[in-house]
Each structure stands twice: as structure tokens, then as C-alpha cells.
Structure 1
Amino acid sequence: MPGEFDPAEELGLFPDRIFVCNCRGFITKNNYLRDLCARFIRNGAHFFDVLVRYDELTAYVLGREEATAGNFVKWVVPFLKANGATDHLIDRFGMEDMQLMPGATMAVRYIASQMPSFINTSLYEHGMMRVSEQLDTPLCESFCTKMEVDNVQFSRAESRKLREMAETISALRIPKVEYELNVPMEVDAADVKIIRTMDDIIQEQIPGLNAMSLMESVVPVTSHKKAYQLLDIRRQTNIDLDSTFYIGSDNTDFQSLDLVRDAGGVSVAFNGTDFAVRGSTIAILSKDSTVGAVFAEQFFNRGIEAVLDLARNWDRKYLKEAEFPDRNLVDAMLAAHPRKLPEVYIVDRKNVDEIAAKSAEYRKKTLGA
């Protein structure tokens, strides 16, 4: 955090590389917001899935100018409040529900000790506070969604109306059709129904309620916001994107991953979605986060070519015999994977479809919905 004692700076050794990451897939395991909806809203998990589907359709399939991936973070809030959620209950839920990835605490602490580190996440403040407490990494600065549900009051009639809307949303069917990024496709009939229903609720029904004030008070970390925040970190640190190591996993990380990759930095899709992989330099599939620290350490000490060289030679024999700046870190990663190493792939135009599909499937098995 700003103002914290940094021994490197005290010695006049100013950093020339930075680390930025998302939460889910690398730091946290469970889908916090989906679990939150399941806790407070009837059939809340499916309700959340429909909102995410609508978000992806408008941002990536329809390509609406006003759409930005991640808006579902603010759309959810009025429905949570209408179903009894308060800031206190959401905060307590974070204490009980937040699950960190194995090795995440060690990995983040290690990386933060090497270079300036930032967490750029869509998590609500309530959840991010719990993550920060568990990581206990004061030198790692975080950016998250600002939200307070207690600031706006709903009448009983309005709460009832929002609950009815939630039931309408939960009744919508999500088709199994998958759309490719930037590839024109006909929209499935079930998705057309989702779009029309959600357009009516978000654009016509909610604006006439106090729920609109609550929704607009939320400052969500969407895909655009993550990218803007990344550029702001670049400005604050005076470290360019070609000296940035970015770990992302969600659809909302695509733009940031793509920016870093195109600038010549390292963008890693860690247990990433299909879209996240399409913006990455490297894809990593792992149940333990220590491997992320291994690659970040290579980047910090030796640069992008060393990272790519490590990815090309990714096998147990090489990892045991090669020289590394921190042998203990590599040994810890090997110990965490005694039978099978994490899967590591350099992503290019030829293999991106295959790797994206493989990562999305692995993510579903490892992290859940």
C-alpha cells in the first residue's frame, strides 16, 4: 500500500518491472458473487448465470457501444438488497465463503516481495477485504468494486417487484451455444429471449425505481475499468507495459491481457476462460498457484525471453536440472505437484482455439461454475 516501508527503495533500488493480477483462478477459487446470489436470491446461482450470459452477449456478441464486460456486478446489487442483503450480511458472508487457491498466499507474498504488485478485481469491497486479510501482504495494492447496499432504501412494494423480476430472470433458459470472439454468428433463440427480457428489465423497468439509484452508485471494475486501471498503474509507476507481468482469468481480463501482450509484456491466462486465453501470451492450468510465482520470478530476474524459454522446456527433468534464481521456489512448486505438473502452453494463432477450449474445460472442473 502507498506509504508502506519498501527496503528496495530505501536502498535507492527503484523497480523496473511490475506485477498485476485478477483474483479468481489465481488467488481465489470459488465464484464469490455467484455464491452470494445463491445465498440471498431464490434460484440465485442460475439467476447470476443469466445476468452473466446477458453481459457477455451484449459486450462480445452484439458488440453494443455502451456495453462493457462486467456490468453484471452492478446489476446484481438491487436484487440482493430486495432479498434481504445488507452490508453487514455481505461482509459476514465473505468471511465464511471466501476460498483461496492452494499456494495463493505464498505466491502473492513472494511476488510482492520482488516487485510492485497490484490486484485488479471485480470483487466487492466486502469480499476484497477478506482476501486482503488472508493474504496479509501490505505491499500489494488492490482495486475492487465500490458498493454499499445500505445507502438506498426500498419500499416493500419495490422490493416485491424486484423479487418478481428475479423470478422472471431465473426462469430463462441458457442455451449451450458457444460464441467465438469477433466471429459473426446467428444468435440462438433462447439468447434472443434473454436479451429482450433483460433489456426490458434493465432499460425500462428498473429506471423508474429507487433500485436505479443504488445500481448507479456502484462503481464496478468492468473490463474497461480494469484496462484503465492498468494504464493508471503504468502512469503512477513510470513502468511501461512491456515490463508488466499480468495474470488474469476472467472475461473481464481480456482487454488488459491483450494490452500487455501487444506491448511486449507477459500476459498469463491462469485457469482462464476462453476469452482470457485469447488475450494471453501463456496459458497455465493449475490447481495450485505456486507456478505463477515461478514464472513471475523468471520475469523479474531475467525478462520475457526467460519466461518463454521456461514454457518451452516445461518438464520435470528440466525443472530439476536447470539453474533458477530461487531454487527453493521451484522445489516448492515441484513438491506441490508430485505426480503431474501444471499444464503450461505458449499461446499463438495456430493453437489458440485448442488451448482456449482446454483451459475453459479445466477451469470448470477446478473452479466450478
Structure 2
Amino acid sequence: MPFVAFDCEGPLTLNDNAFEYSKFMMPEGHRFFKQVSRFDDYLADIKKRPGYKPGDTLKLILPFLKLFGATNQSLREFSRKTLLFLPKIPEVLKEIKNLVPTFIISTSYKPYLEALAEAIEFPMDHIFCTEVDLDKVTLSKEEVKILEKLYQEILSYPTIEIPLRATSPSDLPSELLSVLERMEEIFFEIIWNLDVGVFLREINPVGGEEKARACQQISESLNVSFSEGFYVGDSITDMKALTLLRENQGVSLAFNPNRYALKTAEFYALSKNGVIFKDLVKLFIEQGKEGLDSFVSFKDYEFQKVPSESEVFENLVDKCENFRKIIRGALIGDLG
């Protein structure tokens, strides 16, 4: 019996819960989140900082969410009020989980996934997500002053833009590299050693290697190989899971993806609703991966293998990222 695992935000929902909550809680929170998200891309994909993984943005922003009054209750209430599914997903996901073991592997905070599970009656024991307790820390007056100053400093930097072809820190402009190195100092020397730094020291977002590890746990619990697995992701946090499935002859699907997901998946899909997943999963159950290898669609949705030729791939990246922004909005669609 095969299994299917979905990333949440993108394939299933239109939200970026952490981004939206930051925008709601913090002045200029949308810009602050984008700065930290681009810093995350740099650490994970360019510098490859040891012990750092894609998605750790979600722990980096926690001290500042706390600064502006975030609580467990406010995050739960915000998540319930703002939850927004990709069209057709509630009914499609219900149908799929009646056909095959179905899981959600999400970098998002647990209260958001609890809101989703409650809305569509999806079992929480089939969800992997980021555990967080915003109420565990009380900020001292001294730490409030430090965080306020650092928050304004990060906002004062020019908008961080990582050059597309950069593969190492030496590829970056010197002014940009200075900003990124200062941000490393801010998070991993200054905040790390504060009491509120417990968020950085202890929170373990489910991104990167953690998503691959979740796939491993699913495979072992069901006693099935990765060749019987089907993983759907859309961003940098999904790269390790997509690679794991691809290298082990499973299905790796980049859905409405950005560049990061597209370059690690075997297949890609563009769709305005979730009906595509029902079609693809049924085909996978009936014919295995071979059925998807020979399937191409440009009618109700676009589906085929990711091209290997460089120029064709770059054109596809532009197409996918533009489509992604249309579906999820420019601010969310532009995040790593």
C-alpha cells in the first residue's frame, strides 16, 4: 500500500501562516518577515551553515513575535480565522485519505495545523509540524530594549535580494554580505544568549532534513519503501524530502513551486485547485510511478516531468513563480 505526504502551505492551503501572523502582530511585520526569510535562504542554500535548515525562519522570528505580544491563544485564534484552503482541497483530501494512508508534513506552527485538522476532520497523528509554546518566556525590560533596537536595525537594512546564480558567500555583493553577517551576529550571538534565545536554542522547525526524517518515519511505520511514496512540496523546506523520494524511485512532485522545489523534484504541476491530486494519486495507485512517467496534461492543469535542459528549465522557473504569485498573492508567492 503506497502513502501520500503533502506539504501544507501551498499544496493544501493558500496561507503562509507565520508570515501572516507576523504581519498582524508586528509593525511592518510583512517586511521584517521577508528580511528574515531571505536571510534563511542565505544560511540554508548559500552559506549552508552547519546545523541550520530551511524553515528555521519560524524560530528566528519568535523572539520578535513575543516582543509584540504574541501568545499561544492569539496564534490559535488567528489561525482559525484566517485558514484558507486551495479550492476543492477539503473534499479531495477526504477522498484521498480514504484510498491511501495520507500525511501532512508542515513547517508551520502546530496551532495552525490544529485549525486545519479541526476544519476538515484530519487526524493529528498523521500530521508532522513545528511545536511552539509562546507563553514559556516572559521578557525582562532589558531584553525588550535589546529586541526593539535589533528589530529596527533589521528593518533599516535595504531589502535583501539573493542573486539567482549565487552558490557561495563569495558570489554576493560585499554590502549584502556585510548585512547577512551582521544578522548572523544578531541571531546567533546576541539573541541566542538572551533568555528569549530559548526559542532559537530549543525550537526545531519541521523543514529540510526534518521533512525527510518524517518521510522515513512514515515509511517505517507502514513498512513500505520510498518507491511507494508520493511527496508533494512547493518550496525550499521541501527540498530534502523531494530529493529523498526522487532518489529512491518514489514520486516527487513540485506543486505551484518556486525555484528551490522545482530543481529537486522529478515532476511539476500547476493548478488553481486540488482536483489534480485526486487524479494523480488514483493513477499512482492503479499504475504506480510508471503511470505518472507517461502522463502529461495541459488541459485542466499542467503536469509533466521537470525538464533537464537549462534554458527550458529557467523558462519554466519564471512560469511557475509567476503562476505561484497569482495563486497565493505576490507577497507570499515571493517567499523562499
TM-score (normalizing by structure 2): 0.92
Residue 58 of structure 1 contacts residue 67 of structure 1 at CA under 8 Å; is this kept in 2? Answer: yes
How much has 1:176 moved relative to structure 2?
4.3
Measure the CA separation in 1 of the matches of 2:291 and 2:136.
Answer: 50
- How do 1:325-340 residues align onto structure 2 when only pairs under 5 Å count? none
Measure the CA separation in 2 of the matches of 1:244 and 1:115.
Answer: 11
Q: Does 1:263 align with 2:224?
A: no
Q: How large is the Cα RMSD of the aligned pairs?
A: 1.9
Please tell me the residue identity of whatever aligns with 2:214.
Answer: Q
Please tell me the residue identity of whatever aligns with 2:155.
Answer: S
Residue 112 of structure 1 contacts residue 140 of structure 1 at CA under 8 Å; is this kept in 2? Answer: no
In structure 2, the partner of 1:187 is: 172
SS in 1 for 2:145: helix
Change (3 A) 1:304 1:184: farther
SS in 2 for 1:269: strand
Change (3 A) 1:183 1:162: closer
**Structure whose CA Rg is larger:** 1
How much has 1:208 moved relative to structure 2?
2.8
**Aligned match for 2:304, one of 330, 345, 350:** 345
SS in 2 for 1:100: coil
Q: Does 1:294 align with 2:255?
A: no
Measure the CA separation in 1 of the matches of 2:243 and 2:42.
Answer: 20
Residue 26 of structure 1 contacts residue 270 of structure 1 at CA under 8 Å; is this kept in 2? Answer: yes
TM-superposition CA deviations, 1:98-123 (whole Å, max 9, x none): 21111111221111111111100011
**Aligned match for 1:202, one of 173, 187, 193:** 187
- How do 1:244-263 residues align onto structure 2 when only pairs under 5 Å count? 244-263=229-248
- How do 1:121-270 residues align onto structure 2 when only pairs under 5 Å count? 121-138=106-123, 141-180=126-165, 186-270=171-255
TM-superposition CA deviations, 1:317-359 (whole Å, max 9, x none): xxxxxxxxxxxxxxxxxxxxxxxx2222311312433322321
How much has 1:183 moved relative to structure 2?
7.8
- How do 1:353-368 residues align onto structure 2 when only pairs under 5 Å count? 353-368=314-329
In structure 1, the partner of 2:4 is: 19
Please tell me the residue identity of whatever aligns with 1:360.
Answer: E
Please tell me the residue identity of whatever aligns with 1:273.
Answer: N
Measure the CA separation in 2 of the matches of 1:236 and 1:342.
Answer: 33
More displaced stretch, 186-195 vs 173-182: 173-182
- How do 1:68-79 residues align onto structure 2 when only pairs under 5 Å count? 68-79=53-64
How much has 1:192 moved relative to structure 2?
1.1
Measure the CA separation in 2 of the matches of 1:214 and 1:184.
Answer: 27
Measure the CA separation in 2 of the matches of 1:136 and 1:59.
Answer: 34
More displaced stretch, 188-197 vs 52-61: 188-197
Please tell me the residue identity of whatever aligns with 1:141.
Answer: H
In structure 2, the partner of 1:6 is: none
TM-superposition CA deviations, 1:285-330 (whole Å, max 9, x none): 111111122111110121112122222xx255xxxxxxxxxxxxxx
In structure 1, the partner of 2:86 is: 101
More displaced stretch, 221-230 vs 192-201: 192-201
Change (3 A) 1:234 1:175: same
Kindly tell me the number of residue pairs found equivalent between the two proteins: 328
Residue 283 of structure 1 contacts residue 355 of structure 1 at CA under 8 Å; is this kept in 2? Answer: no
SS in 1 for 2:91: helix
Measure the CA separation in 1 of the matches of 2:181 and 2:161.
Answer: 18
Measure the CA separation in 1 of the matches of 2:169 and 2:148.
Answer: 35
More displaced stretch, 180-189 vs 161-170: 180-189
Gaps of 5+ in 2: none
Change (3 A) 1:200 1:265: same
Identity of aligned residues (%): 23
Q: Does 1:54 align with 2:15?
A: no
Change (3 A) 1:85 1:177: closer
How much has 1:69 moved relative to structure 2?
1.1
Change (3 A) 1:295 1:181: farther
TM-score (normalizing by structure 1): 0.84
